[in-house]
Amino acid sequence: MKIYILRHGETALNQKGVMQGWLDEPLNESGRFLAAVTGQKLKGIRFRRCFSSPLVRAKETAEIVLRESGNDVPVELDPRIREISFGSLEGQQLEREAAMRFFTDPFSYGRFPGGEGVRDVCERTWDFISGLMKLDDGGDYLVSTHGCALRAMLNRFYDDPLDYWHGHVPYNCVVNIIEAHGGSGKLVADDIIYYDRKYCVDRYALDGK
């Protein structure tokens, strides 16, 4: 079986570079465009089921990708794959020192005040993906999630799990593919971008680029 895991499209809060977390922000025009292009590139794949974070930006991305790829399956919401909760810091930009810690060594950062830490997100997203792999039915599945949650879900598949961000925060609408057999899986496609790379922007890059 193959599991296609993507990050949602861009939102207005993404453009501001703030910590979005559980804030329920819809896609902006650019986000819908990136989702549509990604969906068009996935035509020919017949998704057996689609799972999404319950946050609207992930659900809307899933709906657009399904429509543009010619798939007519419902979007099933699963809270285990929603974004990390930044607690009282949601809607804000991290101070420079805190950002350096979170985007270089998030495992040592701990939990956000009133929210979660990356270890919490790793635990709940692994519970989801490990259960999905156990289906082992040869089908294709679509999963729509978030930047931090995507990295958490794939953490055990990376060569260096301690490099949590795998180089950087995943770009909007990147696609990762897990091939699973016998309840275990392998990452066979890593951060695929189906749109023009000029639209790739890391709003959370420490150097501001």
CATH of the domain at 131: 3.40.50.1240
8, 116, 146, 166: which one is catalytic?
8
Structure confidence at residue 208 (pLDDT): 46
pLDDT at position 207: 58
User: What one-letter code names the amino acid at 134?
Assistant: K
The pLDDT > 70 percentage for the chain reads: 98
Low-confidence ranges of the chain (pLDDT < 50): 208-209
Please, what is the Cα angle at 63 between 23 and 49, to 5 degrees? 110
The predicted pLDDT at position 209 comes to 40
Residue 178 tokens, joined: 């897990």
The residue annotated as part of the active site, out of 10, 25, 60, 83, is: 83
- The H-or-E segment that residue 144 falls in is strand 140-145
What pLDDT sits at residue 201?
A: 82
What CA–CA distance (Å, rounded) separates 25 from 63?
16
108-159, pLDDT tens digit by residue? 999 999 999 999 999 999 999 999 999 999 999 999 999 999 999 999 999 9
The answer to the question of residue 208 being in a domain is: no
Does any domain span residue 204?
no
Buried b (16+ CB within 10 A) or exposed e, 19-55: bbbbbebbbbebbbbbbbbbbbbbeeeebebbbbbeb
Q: Which residues have CB under 8 Å from 5's CB, separation 6+?
A: 143, 145, 150, 153, 154, 175, 176, 177, 178
Query: Into how many domains does the chain fold?
Result: 1
Backbone angles phi, psi at 161, to 5 degrees: -60, -25
Residue 74 inside a domain? The answer is yes
Contact in structure between 48 and 185 (CB atoms under 8 Å): no
Is residue 168 situated within a structural domain?
A: yes
- Based on the residue annotation, tell me whether 168 is a catalytic residue of this protein: no
* 205 falls within a domain: no
Determine, yes or no, domain membership for 31: yes
Residue 209 lies in a domain: no
What's the pLDDT at 35?
98
Domain assignment of residue 152, yes or no: yes
DSSP conformational letter for 25: P
Q: By residue range, what is the domain housing residue 129?
A: 2-199
pLDDT at 193: 97
3-state secondary structure 33-89: HHHHHHHHHCCCCCEEEEEECCCHHHHHHHHHHHHHHCCCCCEEECHHHCCCCCHHH
- The predicted pLDDT at position 166 comes to 95
Is 166 an annotated catalytic residue? no
Residue 202: what pLDDT? 81
Looking at the whole model, is its pTM more than 0.85? yes
